[in-house]
A and B are shown apart, each in its own frame.
Chain A
Amino acid sequence: MSEQTKHTLNPNKWIDLHSDYMFNYTISRVSNQDVAKDLVQETFLASLKAMGNFKGQASERTWLISILKRKIVDHYRKSNSIKGKSEVRMSFYEDGENNGKWIEERAPSPWDDADASIENEELKSALDYCIDNLPEKYKSVFILKTIKNYETESICNDLGISSSNLWVIIHRARVQLRECLEGNWFNK
């Protein structure tokens, strides 16, 4: 084919053709089902309004996903300004002569059961529980980086954060996970 095929939009089929795909795409980035559903709906509505800008160069799905991506970045911008950092408790002193040192009661204790089988399913469930209890943004970043093994750069692009921002989030998430696992499993 010499002529490039022009893509068209058919909003009546969007839900059938793309809603599951878009939902999965969103859930892996926001890890909250209700938020994901809202974002998918917002994306469809915004896409309707933007149909005039569609040039037919990308496929319908690619075009919808590009709008969804922007919605996800917006979502994180908003949640940044609302909740801020207060969701994760600090584990290190932030000033004074102990600045940068462990806060006594949040420091690691030896784990009773540390040599127990890593393959243990219940241990895995305990960790899943702890991951689930992370604040939304920490949970998303941790899952994308650790479980899905996404590149740092692609996560930063998708969520609209800087790489130093990403490492601060990974750090706080891991400090919190360690403590949660200690309390819920190893030293119950």
Chain B
Amino acid sequence: MGIKIMVKCDEATSICDKNQYKEASFFDKVRLSIHNFLCHRCRLYTKQNAIITKIITAHNHKEKDLKLDLKEKEKLQKALDNELKKMNN
């Protein structure tokens, strides 16, 4: 069969990263499991990567609503006015 089963560390960790978003394919997950069985570093990576994912989901991000301050808006307005003037000339 032409299916590649053995992957290297960079591929295994890439699969692990994709898997954090549940977007790794079934075969990729098989490849990762086999690789991790043999490789303690990638096993560690998988564990720590999951921790990073957990930290992010645990601290549900609140969307910050940013506003431009008045100065910024004045600057923008000036740039806009200048351009309008040029166009009207």
Contact surface of A with B, Cβ cutoff 8 Å: 11, 14-16, 19-20, 23-24, 27, 37, 40-41, 44-45, 48-49, 91-92, 99-102, 107-111, 114, 118-119, 123-124, 127, 145-148, 152, 167-168, 170-171, 174-175, 177-178, 181-182
Contacts and interface: CB of A to CB of B under 8 A. Distances in A.
Contacts of A174: 13, 17, 20, 49, 52
Q: Is the interface of B mostly helix, strand, loop or mixed?
A: helix
Interface string B7-20: 01111011001101
B52 A44 contact: no
B87 interface: yes
A44 B14 CA distance: 40
B8 A99 contact: yes
A144 to B, nearest CB: 12
A167 B52 contact: no
A166 B20 CA distance: 14
A40 B49 contact: no
A101 B80 contact: no
A48 B83 contact: yes
B64 to A, nearest CB: 8
B14 A167 contact: yes
Nearest to B45: A108
The 7 tightest CB contacts between A and B, nearest first, are: A100-B8, A92-B10, A108-B44, A171-B14, A124-B59, A171-B17, A107-B41
Nearest to A48: B83
B3 interface: no
